[in-house]
A = this chain, B = another copy of it.
Amino acid sequence: MAAELKVSRTTISNAYNRPDQLSADLRERVLATAKQLGYPGPDPVARSLRTRRAGAVGLMITEPLNYSFSDPAALDFVAGLAESCEEVGQGLLLVAVGPNRSVSDGTAAVLAAGVDGFVVYSASDDDPYLPVVQQRALPLVVVDQPKHVAGASHVGIDDRAAMRAMAEHVLELGHREIGLLTMRLGRERPDAGVVAVADPDRAGTPHFDVQGDRIQGVRDAMTAHGVDPQKLVIVESFEHQPTSGGLAAEVALEANPRITALMCTADVLALSAMDYLRARGIYVPGQLTVTGFDGIPDAISRGLTTVRQPSIEKGRRAGRLLHQPSRSGLPEIEVLDTELIRGRTSGPPA
């Protein structure tokens, strides 16, 4: 350290961190000499070690990156989180631990993150990195899923109720044969294929709580309407491609050609399904009702019947939970509101 320019290290430190602790004149001189000597200012790492604050929060992304970066809802969440970090002058450290990477590498990355707290976004309940991030013993906020993580705060919505409301809407229109297109239900690729009808085993014990809750929501509504919930055809799209929804729609209609409504657990799925149906000359909602979930701008502008959830707000809340922890120190649960949007893609069955 350049204490040798003329004064002690404290003075240097003060020059940078406490302008009021020394004469403006001296401070000027210190800074000038520093610049001249090429001293880049206090080392942030050393400072972090001493102050025990890293000045950043970690965002652990366990899904493949192209997944997160292609879903507007996920991006909105990140934007909201980034925004709340910017507000308080914190950095946001993306820790990507997708399937392209060995678990040990990923573990190392989580362990190496110099952060003051973690946000976990939408992980499966058996995610291998969850124990690792818990081990860090830092403030932790889980967004969306898993729904229950010991010691972690949570930000999410009532997926079951929201999806149930959507299913009520569909059932009230008169639909009885329903297909549900869902994102992956487990970390492992299903034997049946990348896009396939989920076998009862897999659909019965989903490792992604959000998907599970939404399935349950549909079944709740079916039961309430006297429809056998076992009749629901669930198609799982394991990957996240622009055409996934279309493929899933095709699989669903093959599995049960009498389906009159396709409910999707994400707008991106629904929009892709609509593209597929249009290409096939199938009219929406005349011949088939399609519903989504998320309320992304594209869905709204295309008139999709969907559930709007406040994705940006989720990010902001997650940030806030980290930046201004509750006085009790106990984890907090925030359940945000959703809104059913009746668009132009749902109508009575043909």
Question: A residues near B, CB below 8 A?
Answer: 38, 40-49, 54-56, 58, 65-66, 69, 75-76, 78-79, 82-83, 85-87, 89-98, 100-101, 105, 108-109, 111-114, 135-137, 242, 297
Contact = CB atoms under 8 A, between A and B. Distances in A.
Given A44-B111, A114-B114, A92 B89 contact: no
B89 A105 contact: yes
A112 B17 CA distance: 12
Nearest to A58: B91
Contacts of A97: 86
28 contacts: A40-B135, A40-B137, A43-B49, A44-B112, A44-B114, A45-B45, A45-B48, A45-B49, A45-B114, A47-B112, A48-B114, A54-B114, A55-B109, A55-B112, A55-B114, A69-B75, A83-B96, A85-B96, A86-B96, A86-B101, A87-B100, A89-B101, A89-B105, A89-B109, A91-B95, A91-B112, A92-B93, A114-B114
Contacts of A79: 65-66, 69
Nearest to A88: B105
Nearest to A95: B91
**10 tightest A-B CB contacts, nearest first:** A86-B96, A69-B79, A92-B94, A55-B112, A45-B48, A93-B93, A40-B137, A91-B93, A45-B114, A44-B114
A240 to B, nearest CB: 13
Nearest to A69: B79
A89 B108 contact: yes
Contacts of A43: 49
Contacts of A297: 242
Contacts of A65: 79, 82-83, 86
